[in-house]
Amino acid sequence: MSISVLYGRDISRDFTAEFNFATRRIGRPGTAWDGNFNLPSDYVPKDSGQIPENVVAATGISTSLEDRVIHSMGKSSPEILAAKHGVMGQIVGGVLYPDAGSLESSVRMLLEKGLKVIPYGGGSSVNGSLMPEAGHETVSIDMKNFSSISIGKNFVRAGAGVTGSDLEAALWKAGYTCGNFPESFRYSTVGGWVATGAVGQESNQYGGIREIALSISLLTSSGRIEDINVPSQSAGTTALDISLGSAGSTGIITDVTLKTFRIPRRRYYHSYFFRSFEDGLRALQESEKLPTVARLSDETETEFAIRSNSADTVQKLFRGYLDIRGVGSGAILIVVNNEEPWKMGMSGAVYAGGIPAKMWERDRYLRPGLANLLWKAGYIPDTLETAANWENLPALYRDVKESFDETKKQYGFNGVIMAHISHLYRSGACIYFTFVLSTEFKREMETLEAARDGIIKAFLRNHGAITHHHGMGALFRPYLDSQHLDLMNRIRDPMYGGV
């Protein structure tokens, strides 16, 4: 059986030019791959028991192997690489597709039989939070039938399984947006956003899901908790409070109420070149007013962004324009701002027009298409991100790069690492690292693990978060300090079957 495991089935943009540019920089590929989890015909899944026949019959649980495998993994690189190597840990025993009428009775029946559950949204998470824990049988609860959307005055109530693109399509027709645009927007769901603490690309203006979500309805093993729908309250801890970033461990989110905003009448696009990434960091730190989107790329990512797509006419013209202005290397900052041009003095910057920001917007959900090409050619692309205060960011950035180079020396792989600032706050920012490596097949898993471990430890050494928006899961839990681990365990619902 062959199961496609790469992210983004419908990415239509051709990334060949970028692919060629990247691979020249990285070096030789490892072993090519078709992007499928190829399971041998005699594959025996690792799980600890069986879902009783009468429960399967009464609830309509799917026990197909393909369903079970897909629902036990997200889109992180360690999970995809494990599939390339034909390795799968524990998988769920079955998948339930409930609707609002059947969820509570089905879950009750599962719990009576001693089964555990893991909620499932769009399966786009990159933290290992869909892996079931060994030692008991677990059922994945796929929320796709929770698809209602009800638009109110400056808020929307959406079923947990509504994807970002379906939500925005409905809101845009009514003249609204909820302002959460993660790159995974076409696949990820509003329930998944809450459970991972997602942050969209326009968070400087709208905030992340922590700021946008107003209330939820949560099904726990001891009943339903319905948050009141009010603009704000101080009446103690809410279901939303305990579910933000919970990875589904506090219960099943069935509905989410989100703020809505009038869609912007106009967007303005700008770009600036700084002599160095650190010059750009200083300028952003001094900026009083935050634009809707601001992405400052380091020198490697800048070169990649403006030199790689040789086939694109607009980009060719832009490069000609940069040559005339005597810039084209350094660190690029692209800015998109709603309603009015962004007029901040960027000390030490050269203004470079709107084209790069427009090109970013054109491809804002398509870039994983490049990752797919790299995977298939035998490379391992990956991303890790963190947030830190302004004063810690320069040292953190340097330490991550040094740590990557150190691991590279130690493990002898080919690879490149680059970064950009993706989300701004008054006190600091989120810095997002992209790295690609290649090595011999049998060393791929240990090499990726070592590169990731070195990077996350550099985050922590420099007072960064384990993750800014990718959420908690098996891949990050080992880095959580004991106090916060204890706190998460205290609010964990006994029905939760995740790691």
Does 238 contact ligand FAD by CB under 6 A?
A: no
Which one of 247, 336, 344, 499 is in contact with ligand FAD (CB under 6 A)?
Answer: 247
Residue 402 Cβ, how far from ligand FAD at the closest point, in Å?
26
Instruction: Tell me the sheet residues that pair with 96.
Output: 141
Q: Applying CB under 6 A, which part among 54-62, 192-200, 269-277, 458-466 lies near ligand FAD?
A: 192-200
Does 302 contact ligand FAD by CB under 6 A?
A: no
Q: Applying CB under 6 A, which part among 37-45, 171-179, 244-252, 353-361 lies near ligand FAD?
A: 244-252
Give the CA dihedral 375, 302, 318, 289, nearest 10 degrees. Answer: 120
**Among candidate residues 287, 429, 268, the one with its CA nearest the CA of residue 346:** 287
Residue 448 Cβ, how far from ligand FAD at the closest point, in Å?
16
Does 123 contact ligand FAD by CB under 6 A?
A: yes
Query: Between residue 147 and residue 176, which ones bind ligand FAD under the rule CB under 6 A?
Result: 160
- The answer to whether the CB of 97 falls within 8 A of the CB of 70 is no
Q: Applying CB under 6 A, which part among 60-68, 87-95, 189-197, 257-265 lies near ligand FAD?
A: 189-197
Does 110 contact ligand FAD by CB under 6 A?
A: no
Q: Which is nearer to ligand FAD, 103 or 327 (CB)?
A: 103
Query: Between residue 251 and residue 270, which ones bind ligand FAD under the rule CB under 6 A?
Result: 252-253
Query: Between residue 456 and residue 475, which ones bind ligand FAD under the rule CB under 6 A?
Result: 469-471
Does 121 contact ligand FAD by CB under 6 A?
A: yes
Q: Which is nearer to ligand FAD, 198 or 283 (CB)?
A: 198
Residue 63 Cβ, how far from ligand FAD at the closest point, in Å?
19
Q: Which is nearer to ligand FAD, 96 or 327 (CB)?
A: 96
Does 35 contact ligand FAD by CB under 6 A?
A: no
Q: Applying CB under 6 A, which part among 149-157, 247-255, 316-324, 452-460 lies near ligand FAD?
A: 247-255
Residue 235: phi and psi, rounded to 5, are -90, 55
Does 71 contact ligand FAD by CB under 6 A?
A: no
Q: Between β-strands 252-259 and 138-142, what pairing exists: parallel, antiparallel or unpaired?
A: unpaired
Residue 190 Cβ, how far from ligand FAD at the closest point, in Å?
8
Interaction site with ligand FAD (CB under 6 A): 7, 74-75, 118-126, 129-130, 143, 160, 182-184, 187-189, 191-193, 195-196, 198-199, 201, 247-248, 252-253, 368, 469-471
